[in-house]
C-alpha cells in the first residue's frame, strides 16, 4: 500500500532577493507521524515552515498538504492545521481559560473542547491563573493549546522547546505524545535539541544550507550510519598514522584512546586484523551505539 503523506513538497525553492535560501526541497511527512525537522541555526527550518503555511510565497505550485495544492486550496487546508511558530502570543492579564474563551468567539468550538485542550496540555488545574504568572513552559503549553482548538489534523511547531528548562521540555514532550496518541494528530516540529527529538519523533528530516540532506523513519536513519569504536593501542601515535594511511576515520580522544568510525561488522573485523598484523595489541573499550547527534554531524559535515 502506498504511504499517505500529509505534507509533500516538490522541489520547493525560495530566495530572499537574489540570495537563495531553500533549494529544491522534497519533504514527505507521513500521515500520523511525528516528524522532526532538524537543522543548524540559519539552515532554513523557519523559512520552510513559513512556506508551508503560506506566510511566504514560493512562486510555484510545489506545496501539497492533505494531497491538495496549497495555493489553490489555502483556506480549506488551513482549517485543518494548527500552528505555533513564533514566541507565545497570549494575553498575560487574562487567565488560561479566558485566553481560550477569547479565541472561541471566532472558532466557536465550545466549552467541552476548551476543557479538553487544557487537560491535554496539562493546564486544567491552572485554568484560572493569570498567564503573566505562568512559567515559560506553561506559556508554551498554552500556546500549543491555542493551536489545538480547531480540531487540527496537522500541528506545525517551530522550536516548541527552545529556551525551556528540563521540566518544561518534559511537559511539552508528554503533551505532544498525548496529543498524537489520543487524537492521531500528525505533528511537524522543527528543533535543534537532538536528544529530545530522538525521544519523541518517528520520522526525521535534516536540512543544511537550505537543502534536505536526509529524510526517513528514525529507526532507518539510526541503523544506516557508521558507529564509533573506542580502542586502546600500545603505540597510539603509530596506530593513528597507520589508520590514517589506510583511510580510517580515527582520532585520539581526551581519554587517550583511539576513536574510529566503522561502517559494519566486516569493516570492524578488517580493522582489528590490521591492528593485530602491525602488533598494536588493540583493546576494544567500547562500541558506541549511533545517536541522532552522531547522524546529524555526519550528514551536515559532509555538506560543509
Q: pLDDT tens digits, residue range 18-34?
A: 888 999 999 999 999 99
What mean pLDDT is reported for the chain? 88
C-alpha grid cell for residue 132? 503573566
The predicted structure's pLDDT at residue 65 = 96
Instruction: Kindly tell me the number of DSSP H helices and DSSP E strands found in the chain.
Output: 11, 16
pLDDT at 302 over 60: no
- In total, the chain counts a number of residues equal to 304
The predicted structure's pLDDT at residue 90 = 92
- pLDDT band, residue 169 (cuts 50/70/90): confident
By CB atoms closer than 10 A (0-12, 13-18, 19+), residue 128 is exposed
The predicted structure's pLDDT at residue 212 = 94
- pLDDT band, residue 179 (cuts 50/70/90): confident
Q: pLDDT tens digits, residue range 263-294?
A: 777 888 888 899 999 999 888 777 766 677 77
Contacts for 224 with CB less than 8 Å, ≥ 6 apart? none
Measured at the CA of 88, the angle between CA 31 and CA 152, to 5 degrees, comes to 25
pLDDT at 304 over 70: no
pTM: predicted TM-score of the whole model, two decimal places = 0.78
Percent of the chain with pLDDT over 90: 51
Amino acid at each position: 500500500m502506498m504511504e499517505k503523506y500529509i505534507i509533500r513538497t516538490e522541489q520547493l525553492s525560495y530566495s530572499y532577493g537574489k540570495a537563495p535560501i531553500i533549494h529544491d526541497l522534497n519533504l514527505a511527512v507521513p500521515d500520523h507521524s511525528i516528524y522532526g525537522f532538524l537543522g543548524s541555526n540559519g539552515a532554513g527550518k523557519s523559512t520552510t515552515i513559513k512556506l508551508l503555511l503560506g506566510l511566504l510565497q514560493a512562486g510555484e505550485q510545489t506545496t501539497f498538504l492533505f494531497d491538495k495544492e496549497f495555493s489553490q486550496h489555502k483556506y480549506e487546508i488551513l482549517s485543518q492545521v494548527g500552528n505555533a511558530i513564533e514566541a507565545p502570543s497570549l494575553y498575560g492579564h487574562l487567565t488560561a481559560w479566558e485566553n481560550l474563551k477569547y479565541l472561541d468567539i471566532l472558532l466557536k468550538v465550545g466549552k467541552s473542547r476548551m476543557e479538553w485542550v487544557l487537560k491535554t496540555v496539562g493546564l486544567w488545574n491552572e485554568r484560572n491563573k493569570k498567564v503573566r504568572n505562568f512559567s515559560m513552559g506553561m506559556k508554551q503549553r498554552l500556546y500549543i493549546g491555542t493551536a489545538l482548538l480547531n480540531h487540527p489534523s496537522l500541528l506545525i511547531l517551530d522550536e516548541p522547546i527552545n529556551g525551556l528548562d528540563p521540566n518544561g521540555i518534559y511537559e511539552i514532550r508528554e503533551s505532544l505524545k498525548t496529543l498524537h496518541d489520543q487524537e492521531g494528530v500528525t505533528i511537524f516540529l522543527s528543533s535543534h535539541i537532538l536528544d529530545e527529538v530522538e525521544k519523541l519523533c518517528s520520522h526525521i528530516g535534516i536540512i543544511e544550507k537550505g537543502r534536505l540532506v536526509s529524510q526517513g523513519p528514525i529507526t532507518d536513519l539510526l541503523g544506516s550510519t557508521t558507529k564509533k569504536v573506542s580502542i586502546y593501542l600500545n603505540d597510539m601515535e603509530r596506530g593513528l598514522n597507520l589508520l590514517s594511511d589506510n583511510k580510517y576515520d580515527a582520532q585520539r580522544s581526551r581519554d587517550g584512546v583511539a576513536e574510529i568510525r566503522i561502517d559494519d561488522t566486516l569493516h570492524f573485523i578488517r580493522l582489528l586484523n590490521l591492528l593485530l598484523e602491525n602488533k598494536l595489541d588493540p583493546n576494544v573499550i567500547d562500541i558506541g551505539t549511533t545517536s541522532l547527534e552522531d547522524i546529524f554531524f555526519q550528514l551536515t559535515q559532509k555538506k560543509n
